[in-house]
Amino acid sequence: MSRYLKDEALVLKSYPLGESDRLITFLSWNRGKIVAVAKGARKTKSKLASGVDLFTHGNYQFYQGRGLALVTGVEVKDRFIYLRQDPELYPYGFYLVELADRLVPESGLCPEVCSLVLEGWRLLPEVENLPLLIRAFELKLLQSTGYSPFFEGCLQCGASQATVFSVSRGGLICPECSNERGFKVDFLLQPGTIALARVLLRLPLGRVQVVRSRHKQEQELARVTGSFLRYHLQIGPMNSLKYIDSLTR
């Protein structure tokens, strides 16, 4: 097996390492997460430095030795400069990264997630309603990793009038099933919120701009997805979300 690897990837995380190196976490199309060292990337004359910065999409070459892989080459495809220049978009860009990083297992393949994060970064400066894009991203990410919450009807009997969301069951439950089986009622959702969740799950992320929603529905959906992520994936409060909250307070 060749020790030289090539893959299309996104830079998820980048931390200083040692004297002048960087430890990079990539999300790659064909190999999932790759943690690699970019030697000398903090030096001003480094050829790798700008290619391993956060919010970068490119074709990367790695050398897989006995220890951590080394980044040996980079061909940048896109840099998403606006994410670093706009203080409002910046934390949202990170939220997409943090959520994808937590949802994708260390050794899992995730080409759909790569495409989703890339699409998310592209859409951030284009959409007017950032929180709605974030809700759509959360739902699409859950869908592409196989954890999609069920909003199409009652999980038990299929009744379309279900309005009770059970986090532990992972979807909607009609009042009858909820009473009969004693499921815990976590959220009593407005019909508009359910319709919004269905639309966001069905539409491609790029079409989120055509969706019209009310602030209250978005907030309700945010509470549902937040609880869902906490319960099913043990994803606690996220740093980037706290950052966004602190800026909007």
Per rule CB under 8 A, is residue 65 in the interface with another protein? no
Rounded Cα distance, 44 and 148, in Å: 44
Cβ proximity to another protein: between 54 and 221 the closer is 54
Question: In whole angstroms, what is the distance from residue 38 CA to residue 54 CA?
Answer: 13
Contact flag: residue 146 with another protein (CB under 8 A):
no
210-239 positions binding another protein, by CB under 8 A: 239
List 1, 2, 44, 212, residue binding another protein (CB under 8 A): 44
Pick out residues in 83-102 that bind another protein (CB under 8 A): 83-87, 90-91, 94-95, 97-98
Q: How far is the CB of 50 from another protein (least distance, A)?
A: 4
Instruction: Using CB atoms within 10 Å of the CB of residue 48, give its burial: 0 to 12 exposed, 13 to 18 middle, 19+ buried.
Output: buried
Binder of another protein out of 6, 13, 31, 39 (CB under 8 A): 13
Query: What is d(CA 79, CA 115) in angstroms, rounded to the nearest whole number?
Result: 15
Token pair for 236 = 């606690």
Footprint on this chain of another protein (rule: CB under 8 A): 13-14, 18-19, 44-45, 47, 49-51, 53-55, 76, 79, 83-87, 90-91, 94-95, 97-98, 239-240, 242-244, 246-247
